[in-house]
């Protein structure tokens, strides 16, 4: 048979410190901590090496050719002769030569030419390229003012010349309030 438990024993004395054990396994990575303060800006670095040469740019986007000229006389132009427009409205690159009555091309490409002519009678106007008629326009009227217009797109080479000329019907005017103008401009360079 079992007896009754005895009184509690006295406290034991601390034992000697044991030897250091072996290193344990590496634990799992902890959570990312908060972002730290921004550091001080570093010193300026050395100049880098020269870069490679770039692609050739589109020089054609800067080419300009345009003119707008008016006549300042009410004398009818002579037939089959370039009509001289002597009043400059604009003449970019000075390619309209008023003493000759001709536009002279120095930038090859597509050009648009147009005229608006006031007359008080029959009027026929040709747009001419290098002495060859390209298009002709005629209006027939008597004793009344009228405005005739005509235009064309032409492909030009360097030194090509474009001008207007009349036929026998040549009642073109060029006075204040009854202007006649000749315009041309580069659309697309080659």
Per-residue pLDDT tens for 71-119?
988 888 999 999 999 999 999 889 999 999 999 999 999 999 999 998 8
- The predicted-structure confidence for 126-180, as pLDDT tens digits, reads as follows 999 999 999 999 988 877 788 899 999 999 999 999 999 998 888 887 777 788 9
| Residue 69 in this model has a pLDDT that exceeds 70 | yes
User: pLDDT value at position 111?
Assistant: 98
Fold of 64-189: Jelly Rolls (2.60.120)
User: pTM for this structure?
Assistant: 0.67
CA 67 from centre of chain: 20
Strands 146-156 and 181-189: unpaired
Spatial CB neighbours of 109, under 8 Å, sequence gap ≥ 6: 63, 155, 156, 186, 187, 188, 189, 190
C-alpha 163, offset from chain centre: 28
115 contacts 181 by C-beta, under 8 angstroms: yes
């Amino acid at each position: 048979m079992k007896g009754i438990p005895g009184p509690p024993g006295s406290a034991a004395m601390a034992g000697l410190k044991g030897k250091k054990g072996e290193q344990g396994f590496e634990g799992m990575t902890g959570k990312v901590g908060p972002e730290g303060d921004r550091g001080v800006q570093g010193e300026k670095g050395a100049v880098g090496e020269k870069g490679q040469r770039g692609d050739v740019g589109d020089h054609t986007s800067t080419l300009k050719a345009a003119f707008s000229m008016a006549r300042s006389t009410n004398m009818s132009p002579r037939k089959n002769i370039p009509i001289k427009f002597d009043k400059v409205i604009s003449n970019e690159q000075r390619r309209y030569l008023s003493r000759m009555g001709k536009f002279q091309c120095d930038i090859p490409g597509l050009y648009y030419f147009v005229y608006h002519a006031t007359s008080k009678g029959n009027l026929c106007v040709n747009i001419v390229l290098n002495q060859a008629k390209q298009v002709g326009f005629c209006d027939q009227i008597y004793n009344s003012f009228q405005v005739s217009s005509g235009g064309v797109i032409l492909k030009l080479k360097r030194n090509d010349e474009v001008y207007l000329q009349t036929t026998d019907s040549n009642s073109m005017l060029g006075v204040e309030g009854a202007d006649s103008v000749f315009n041309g401009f580069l659309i697309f360079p080659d």
